[in-house]
Structure 1
Amino acid sequence: MSDLHHQTAYWDAVAETKHFTHPLHTPWLDGLGRDAVILDYGCGYGRTMDALEQQGFGDLFGVDTSPGMISRARRLHPAMRFEVLDTPPTLPCPDASIDLVVLFAVLTCVPDDQAQRRLIGEVRRVLKPGGRLYLSDLLLQSDRRNRDRYTEYSERHGGPYGVFRTDDGAVCRHHPDDWFTDLLSDFTSIDTRPITVATMNGHEAAGVQILAGTPTSAPPRTVERPGPTS
């Protein structure tokens, strides 16, 4: 599935037409100083960053694998910082430099288990001790349409149950509840909430939002990487 980890050509082709709907649950931002350093991984066209700015946060940085999405984001939000990820999931951030990472509807676009683990590992690297991860993603759906899509893709291509191809050509993934528990085993669970959202193609879907934290102390790190550029 290595060619499906990012699907940049697909996202560039739809960059001007897709709309994302995962909600920002503002009570989860309580206690986070408005000077907090926030990274939106898979920022798309900057919708969630705009919502964060409206909540008073100013140190915001968005990254995405799609140059088309970043171009749209820069046009819509010219004062914000956005950057294309050339070698995802590697982030242009030093170790332990970010207070909050936002990961909205990103894992659904990464169908492979190990690719998701690498992404979460990179997120863990850049978060400060006591930092937080705010994840929003989609669960396995119980309706016949989705169950048929999961089965068809699994029988043709293998891979985790829940992977499917959309009508317009993206390969996406819905997840069982316990997958997130396993994936975030290096984090401390803070809160979880169910959500219902419209998918990018207009279908109602069940999802979950998870707020997780890193330990308040961490062993010394040795890898230094350049900071974000505007």
Structure 2
Amino acid sequence: MEDLGRQAAYWDGAGSTKTFTHPVQISWLSGIGRAARILDYGCGYGRVMAELVEHGFLDVSGVDLSAALIDRGRLLRPDLKLAVLESPPVVPCVSGSFDVVVLFAVLTCIPDDDAQRALVAELRRILASGGLLYVSDVLLQDDERNRNRYAAFAERFGTPYGVFSTDDGAVCRHHDISHLRSLLSDFDLVDEHQIDVATMNGHPARAVQLLVRKP
């Protein structure tokens, strides 16, 4: 199987055409100054970045491993600061460079436990003390279609329950909420709530958003 921590070929192909839908709860950033340094990790074509800029944030940048998605974003919004991430999860900046990091529907694209932990550790490194990490991701679904594909994939590949393959070739992961809380256990929880979203292939799904702070 392809490296489950990256899947760059998928995101430069079929994945580069997807529409992403997780909503931004701007009220969660109400205490953040408009000059705060914000990074959207896994920014795709810059949808969330554009929303943040439209709400007055002045220093918003984004990185993504997919050159195709970054190219799409530059065409749609040439005013955005978008860059290709050459060696994910490493962000080429000094420690403490950002006040806020946004991580929307990224963990679902990184099914491997070790790769998820490495990413969260890197984001903790680049956050300033007291900085916020805003995570939005997909929970385990309880419908028969999803339960069947979780079980089939776990039996075939020995991956964590919740990992599955989409019809067009992505390997994704839906998460038990306890796993996400454990992954973020080095941060202080500020807020958490569940939401309904559409997946990148248009299916309804239950998701969760977590706002955590670096001590």
Q: Secondary structure at the match of 1:212?
A: strand
The answer to whether structure 1 residue 100 and structure 2 residue 103 are counterparts is no
What amino acid does structure 2 have at the position aligned with 1:29? L
Indicate yes or no: 2:163 matched with 1:158.
no
- What secondary structure, in the 3-state scheme, does the structure 1 residue paired with 2:137 have? strand
Q: Write the distance in 1 (CA, Å) between the matches of 2:7 and 2:163.
A: 14
Q: Which amino acid aligns with 1:25?
A: Q
**Which residues of structure 1 form unaligned runs of 5+?**
216-230
User: 1:17 Cα deviation (Å)?
Assistant: 2.1
CA RMSD between the two structures: 1.0
Deviation, structure 1 residue 92: 1.3
- Following TM superposition, by how much is the alpha carbon of 1:35 offset from its aligned partner in structure 2, in angstroms? 0.2
Corresponding residue number in structure 1 for 2:56: 56
The answer to which of 165-174 and 71-80 deviates more is 71-80
Equivalences, count: 215
Q: Quick one: distance in 1 between partners of 2:4 and 2:176?
A: 20
| Equivalence for 1:41 | 41
The ranges of structure 1 where at least 4 consecutive aligned residues each deviate by more than 6 angstroms after the TM superposition are: none
Per the TM alignment, residue 15 of structure 1 is displaced from its structure 2 partner at its CA by 4.8
Q: TM-score, normalised by structure 2?
A: 0.98
Q: Could you say which residue in structure 2 is the equivalent of 1:227? A: none
Q: Secondary structure at the match of 2:205?
A: strand
By how many angstroms is 1:191 displaced? 0.2
Q: Distance in 1 between matches of 2:58 and 2:167?
A: 38
Q: For residue 72 of structure 1, give the secondary structure of its aligned residue in structure 2.
A: helix
Contact kept? 1:15, 1:72, Cα under 8 Å: no
Cα distance in 1 for residues equivalent to 2:181 and 2:207: 14
TM-score (norm 1): 0.92
Contact 1:164/1:172, CA 8 A, preserved across alignment: yes
- Counterpart for residue 29 of structure 2: 29
Q: Which amino acid aligns with 1:214?
A: K
Distance 1:184 1:196 in 2: 22
Q: How far apart are the structure 2 equivalents of 1:135 and 1:16?
A: 21
Give the residue type in structure 2 aligned to 1:128. A
Alpha-carbon shift at residue 3 of structure 1 (Å): 1.1
Q: How does 1:1-230 map to 2 (within 5 A)?
A: 3-215=3-215
Identity of aligned residues (%): 58
One-letter identity of the residue aligned with 1:209 = Q
> How much does 1:14 deviate?
2.4
Letter in 2 for 1:67: A
Give secondary structure in 2 for the equivalent of 1:164: strand
Give per-residue Cα distances to partners, 1:163-212, cap 9 Å, x unaligned: 00001110000000100111011100000010100000010000000000
One-letter code aligned to 1:102: V
Give the distance between the partners of 1:36 and 1:124, measured in 2 at CA. Answer: 16
TM-fit CA distance, 1:16: 4.6
Report the secondary structure of 1:3's partner residue: coil
Partner Cα distance (2:178, 2:52) in 1: 29
SS at match of 2:3: helix
